[in-house]
Structure 1
Amino acid sequence: MCFDCKKTTRMENPLHLKSVNHISLVCRSVEKSIDFYQNVLGFFSIRRPGSFDFDGAWLFNYGIGIHLLKSEDPDNMPKITQINPKDNHISFQCESMAIVERKLRDMEIEYVKSRVEEGGIYVDQLFFHDPDGSMIEICNCDVLPVIPLAGDANIRSCSSINCNFQQQQQQQIPSAVQL
């Protein structure tokens, strides 16, 4: 395989990708993780193929799935470390940072708060762990414009109208999923 960018011409969408479908997370306890992703982040359970021969659960919201997989060796999973915003993490945008911060405090979830300034625009971030130590970020990152680098005009962004329409469609799914 050749990944040498100097020898290849850049294609807009070489694999014809449409979106991120899901994030898969290995967990110590599927039940504790379901509780966290439902009650803290607002995901809801969806049907998972019955042909799987391992414990897990599927959740969905905000146009993305979370696939929880029961660890085959929970005692040897990485230990939960201190909250470090530079660790790998999943980021979710929110409508109100103040509400999120208040709810995290009310739920007694430890978090780290950060603020980034770029050209007079402030991005607020809250970082915390799920029950297995996977890092979660909640932010108002949508205030920061997506600006293509010089010569890279192929970046497409989601307009507020388009994003809001997609979110409305996703919010209608839970009632349609009830069997």
Structure 2
Amino acid sequence: MFAIKGINHIALVCRDMRETVDFYTKILGMPLVKTVELPDGGQHFFFDCGGGASVAFFWWKDGPPAAPGIASVKSFPYEAKTAVGSMNHLAFDMEEADLEAALSKLEKAGVPHTHAVVNHDDSKMGVAREMHDGVFVRSVYFTDPNGIMLEFAAFTKSFTPEDVRHAPATVDA
């Protein structure tokens, strides 16, 4: 097996590097830790997102346009499907006690977001209005200036072998 220690970085693509730097440094408070000028005229910037991991962005003046509903979520939670090989969303780990304050900070900054903490459980709908013993993660969803769906997530319990109870689906079934 490989000696994987965790996520080093995820590399995304932005439409405007200055706007992206402002959002990730000024609103999310992630320090810009490395910048690279690419030989083809593009840029590659890295932000420290904690725990030794980074969120990185590529930018190219002539990059293809955004493709909501294909390469990114079109409208959460109503149109959340994305294409094979796309990134659906990026979740940042946060203490559960900090989620409500995160909502207020996003609101104050004018960032589009869910207006309540979402309680994910194993019910048919996958969410619950109220907190209960079956809620395994609580989340706040929002988007960055590039339309990338982001999440602040707090696990509310440790997983056990009983939490793995579904067979993997296949198109051939």
Please say if residues 112 and 142 of structure 2, whose CA atoms lie closer than 8 Å, have aligned partners that are also in contact: yes
Q: Is there any run of 5+ residues in structure 1 with no aligned partner, and where?
A: 1-13, 152-179
Pairs aligned (count): 136
Q: How do 1:49-68 and structure 2 match up within 5 A?
A: 49=36, 52-53=38-39, 54-62=42-50, 63-68=52-57
For 1:147 and 1:121, the matched residues in 2 are separated by 13
Report what 1:11 is aligned to: none
For 1:150 and 1:132, the matched residues in 2 are separated by 34
Report what 1:157 is aligned to: none
Structure 1 residues 97, 18: closer, same or farther in 2, change over 3 A?
Answer: same
Q: Taking structure 1 as the reference length, what is the TM-score of the superposition?
A: 0.65
For 2:11 and 2:163, the matched residues in 1 are separated by 34
Superposition deviation, residue 129 in structure 1: 1.0
Please say if residues 36 and 44 of structure 2, whose CA atoms lie closer than 8 Å, have aligned partners that are also in contact: no
Q: Is there any run of 5+ residues in structure 2 with no aligned partner, and where?
A: 82-87, 123-131, 165-173
Q: Taking structure 2 as the reference length, what is the TM-score of the superposition?
A: 0.67
Structure 1 residues 49, 131: closer, same or farther in 2, change over 3 A?
Answer: closer
Superposition deviation, residue 148 in structure 1: 3.3
1:148 paired residue among 135, 146, 161: 161
Percent identity reads: 21
For 2:27 and 2:163, the matched residues in 1 are separated by 40
Structure 1 residues 105, 150: closer, same or farther in 2, change over 3 A?
Answer: closer
Write the deviation string for residues 116-138 of structure 1: whole angstroms up to 9, x where unpaired: 24671533211111111111011
Q: Which of the pair has more CA radius of gyration?
A: 1
Report what 2:120 is aligned to: 116
Tell me the C-alpha RMSD between the 2 structures.
2.6
Q: How do 1:1-179 and structure 2 match up within 5 A?
A: 14-49=1-36, 52-53=38-39, 54-62=42-50, 63-74=52-63, 76-79=65-68, 81-84=74-77, 86=80, 88-95=88-95, 96-112=98-114, 113=116, 114-117=118-121, 120-122=133-135, 123-141=137-155, 143-148=156-161
Report the structure, 1 or 2, having the larger helix content.
1
For 2:150 and 2:101, the matched residues in 1 are separated by 16
* SS of structure 2 residue aligned to 1:59: strand
